[in-house]
């Protein structure tokens, strides 16, 4: 059975609550990436337990009535391409 990969933050990045900015930021080598609330929420779901489809489903459940699928998938594609999130199979 071929299982979809689960998502996690790459080993060299982490979410951090920035007291100065008053929000979560993504710390990457030599970079601090400011996140909006939805971006931080999506990245917090990349916790080694959910696939991309499960992250999308959870965001849709949290934002009832909103069509967030395309935005979430586009955001995940971007952070995967930049190497901030990685997918792996267990």
Q: Domains, the chain, ranges and CATH?
A: 6-82 (1.10.10.1150)
Which tens digit of pLDDT belongs to each residue from 18-77? 898 888 999 999 999 999 999 999 999 999 999 999 999 999 999 987 789 999 999 999
Higher-pLDDT residue of 89 and 46 is: 46
Can you tell me the distance from the alpha carbon of 1 to that of 10, in angstroms, rounded to the nearest whole number?
26
* pLDDT-based confidence at residue 83 (cuts at 50, 70, 90): very high
Determine the pLDDT at residue 2: 61
Quick one: which of 90, 79, 59, 81 has its CA closest to 15? 79
The 10 Å CB-count burial string (b at 16+, else e) for 20-39 is: eeeebbbbbeeeeeebeebb
Cα of first residue to Cα of last residue in the chain, in angstroms, is: 12
pTM attached to this predicted model: 0.90
Quick one: which of 31, 50, 49, 46 has its CA closest to 80? 46
Higher-pLDDT residue of 66 and 10 is: 10
């Amino acid at each position: 059975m071929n299982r979809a990969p689960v998502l996690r933050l790459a080993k060299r990045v982490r979410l951090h609550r920035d007291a100065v900015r008053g929000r979560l930021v993504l710390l990457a080598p030599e970079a601090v990436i400011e996140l909006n609330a939805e971006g931080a929420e999506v990245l917090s779901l990349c916790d080694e337990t959910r696939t991309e489809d499960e992250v999308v489903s959870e965001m849709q459940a949290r934002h009832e009535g909103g069509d967030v699928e395309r935005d979430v998938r586009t955001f995940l594609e971007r952070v995967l391409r930049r190497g901030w999130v990685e997918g792996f199979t267990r």
